[in-house]
Amino acid sequence: MNNMKTAILLGTLTGIFLISGAMAGGRQGMLLALVFAGLMNFVSYWFSDKIVLKAYRANELPESEAPRIYAMVRELSQQAQIPMPGICVFEQDSPNAFATGRNPDKAVIALSRGIIHLMGEAELKGVVAHELTHVINRDTLLATIAATLAGAIMFLGYQMRWLGLFSGGGHNDDNRGGALGMILMAILAPLAATIIQMTISRSREFKADAGAAQLTHNPEGLASALEKLTAYSKRLPLQATRQTAHLFIVSPLSGKGLLSLFSTHPPIEERVTRLREMRFT
């Protein structure tokens, strides 16, 4: 299913760029857009994980600095029967975490400095198990590509807006039509980026929570971690972009009212309730 969603995402990107190219430059613009879309598809599939890690300045966490984390990840990986992922840290005090990588062999778990300092043993184990479940379920490729594509489309919308404004001064009807088309695409591009992110179903977080509880046999550990993460994130927001918000274990963005309808994360209260209703013998 995730492979199909990935194909749809890449196809959507190509379509958006082709329409934009046709509006901006006719047949020649469409041809250039096709080349650019092909390049973006290639980059997003093979390098989107590296792009996201670099965006948050995440670096490899030395085992000598965090032996308990390495032992924890090694133990859970063996239980899940997957290769041990890389472990990175990004230097933010706000507690949060995400996983990336196009398959389990290339997976990386990224932890903020804040989450390492804040979480107790059982809580951090629950967070790591949650991210490992995303790796097992192959959510990471889809989520990371979605982040890269959303960023590319937002950038496209920004460029189209400026091109449309600067082209608007011409008296030729074709120039005016092209300018209007570009302005229209500038409005639609952010909406397209939102729709792409909405393909990342909220249900994946419930599945990752359940998988973490099964791996650790301790749903309370993750439930407690989620409560801590929510409380601390409100007081100390993570420096994150809307395009990558869906990657994190808890959303780094505060959405209220209508904005909450577009959130890629289900309510924390519901996640915690489901975890505490689980029983393991």
Domain boundaries defined on the chain = 2-54+141-198, 58-137+202-276
pLDDT at 268: 93
Tell whether the model's pLDDT for residue 259 goes beyond 60: no
Better pLDDT: 203 or 232: 232
Q: What is the pTM of this model?
A: 0.78
SS3 letters for the chain?
CHHHHHHHHHHHHHHHHHHHHHHHHHHHHHHHHHHHHHHHHHHHHHHHHHHHHHHCCCEECCCCCCHHHHHHHHHHHHHHCCCCCEEEEECCCCCCEEEECCCHHHCEEEEEHHHHHHCCHHHHHHHHHHHHHHHHCCHHHHHHHHHHHHHHHHHHHHHHHHHHHHHCCCCCHHHHHHHHHHHHHHHHHHHHHHHHHHCCCCHHHHHHHHHHHHHHCCHHHHHHHHHHHHHHHHHCCCCCCHHHHHHECCCCCCCCHHHHHHCCCCCHHHHHHHHHCCCCC
The rounded mean pLDDT for the chain is 81
pLDDT at 100: 94
Q: What whole-number percentage of the chain has pLDDT above 70?
A: 68
State which of 46-50, 160-164, 190-194 shows the largest mean pLDDT. 46-50
Which residues contact residue 107 at a Cβ distance below 8 angstroms, ignoring those fewer than 6 apart?
82, 83, 85, 86, 99, 100, 101, 135, 140
For the question of residue 91 being annotated catalytic, the response is no
Which of 3.40.50.300, 3.30.70.141, 3.30.2010.10, 3.40.50.970 is the CATH number of 58-137+202-276?
3.30.2010.10
pLDDT at 258: 41
pLDDT at 269: 94
* pLDDT tens-digit readout, 35-74: 777 777 777 778 888 999 999 999 999 999 999 999 999 9
Tokens representing residue 88 in the block: 């990175």
Q: What whole-number percentage of the chain has pLDDT above 90?
A: 45
Better pLDDT: 181 or 241: 241
pLDDT at 102: 86
* pLDDT tens-digit readout, 72-114: 999 999 999 999 999 999 999 999 999 999 889 999 999 999 9
Residue among 75, 91, 131, 270 flagged as catalytic: 131
